[in-house]
Amino acid sequence: MNLVKQVDALVIGGGMANTFIAARGTNVGKSLCEHDLADTAKQIMIEAATAGCAIVLPVDGVVAREFKAGAENEVVDIEAIPADAMVLDVGPKSIAAVNEWVSKAATLVWNGPLGAFEIAPFDKATVAVAKHAASRTKSGALVSVAGGGDTVSAMNHADVADDLSYVSTAGGAFLEWMEGKPLPGVDILHLQK
When pLDDT is cut at 50, 70 and 90, the band that residue 22 belongs to is very high
Question: For residue 168, what are the β-bridge partners?
Answer: 147
How many domains is the chain built from? 1
pLDDT (tens digit per residue) in 65-114: 999 999 999 999 999 999 999 999 999 999 999 999 999 999 998 888 99
pLDDT(14) > 90: no
Residue 144: burial class (beta carbons within 10 Å; 0-12, 13-18, 19+): buried
Find out whether 109 and 171 touch, Cβ atoms under 8 Å.
Answer: no
> How high is the mean pLDDT of the chain?
90
Calculate the dihedral angle through the C-alpha atoms of 3, 99, 127, 52, rounding to the nearest 10 degrees.
10
* Contact yes or no for 23/78 (Cβ under 8 A): no
CATH number at residue 53: 3.40.50.1260
- Work out the pLDDT band at 169, boundaries 50, 70, 90: confident
Domain of residue 6, residue span = 2-191
- Which residue spans within 93-152 are E strands per DSSP? 107-110, 143-147
Q: Which of 1-10, 42-51, 127-136 has the highest mean pLDDT?
A: 127-136
Q: In 3-state terms, what secondary structure has residue 65?
A: coil
How much is the pTM?
0.88
**What's the rounded Cα separation, in Å, for the pair 135 and 5?**
28
Task: Give the strand pairing for 73-77 and 60-64.
Answer: antiparallel
Q: How confident is the model at residue 170 (pLDDT cuts 50, 70, 90)?
A: confident
Length of the chain (residues): 193
Query: Based on C-alpha coordinates, what's the Rg of the chain?
Result: 17
d(CA 116, CA 93): 17
